[in-house]
Amino acid sequence: ILNVEQSPQSLHVQEGDSTNFTCSFPSSNFYALHWYRWETAKSPEALFVMTLNGDEKKKGRISATLNTKEGYSYLYIKGSQPEDSATYLCAFIDSNYQLIWGAGTKLIIKP
Amino acid sequence: GAVVSQHPSRVICKSGTSVKIECRSLDFQATTMFWYRQFPKQSLMLMATSNEGSKATYEQGVEKDKFLINHASLTLSTLTVTSAHPEDSSFYICSAREEALNTEAFFGQGTRLTVV
């Protein structure tokens, strides 16, 4: 059974602080890992598509790293702002192109 | 990016009736579609995964006779909440994905269901 876990489930961060959270996935049969950002009442948006071990991707203050050998990806947010409050979802895609979702990390930025 | 259209965006129904929610991929073939629900102040919960032309795979704890999923074509999946009760009131959202290299999943706008 393929399992994708995200931790923590929820996170409260003070505005201006940096933070990170984790997506763990099977280390075998890896094809790709996706990160999504989802604000309540809006459609989730794709942040990153990561495919190679050691990948680092960046979009503004948000960045992500990938370790396929040990089966984890970190999402970092630098200098958190209230608009960063959202649920961050990761999705693991295996070599059969099967997509498995994590349950998400809910991030709340406190002003 | 690709567009997924979900309809209706809001629906209010009486207890005991059934409600159908549609999820359409407008400009790509959605080999796989996912259905989620979100309870207030909780995370998104995956309900089921459906592949075109085959039966949906339901997550543990989700009643398949209660939440009927049909994915009869590559552009349409439907979720029918049967004999709805107030506890089924929730936000339901679908996502669709084309089974090709590195394609992301695209999400519908969601449906707010209120059962009275």
Inter-chain residue contact B44 with A9, CB threshold 8 Å: no
Q: Express as a percent the part of chain A with pLDDT over 70.
A: 97
In DSSP terms, B12 is beta-bridged to B114
Which region among A18-27, A77-86, B40-49, B107-116 has the lowest average model confidence (pLDDT)? B40-49
Yes or no: say if B71 and B51 are a contact pair by the CB < 8 Å rule.
yes
Residues A18-57 pLDDT 10s: 999 999 999 999 988 999 998 876 778 889 989 999 999 9
- Please name the member of A9, A91, A97 whose beta carbon is closest to the beta carbon of B43: A9
Sort out which chain B residues have CB atoms less than 8 A from A51's CB and list them.
102
Q: Which two tokens stand for residue A70?
A: 């040990």
User: Are A67 and A56 within 8 A, CB to CB?
Assistant: no
B30 to chain A nearest CA, in Å? 13
A residues 28..57 contacting B (CB < 8 A): 31-32, 34, 36, 38, 40-41, 43-44, 46, 49, 51
Nearest Cα residue in chain A from B111: A41
Taking CB atoms and an 8 Å cut-off, how many pairs form between chains A and B? Answer: 47
pLDDT value for B115:
96
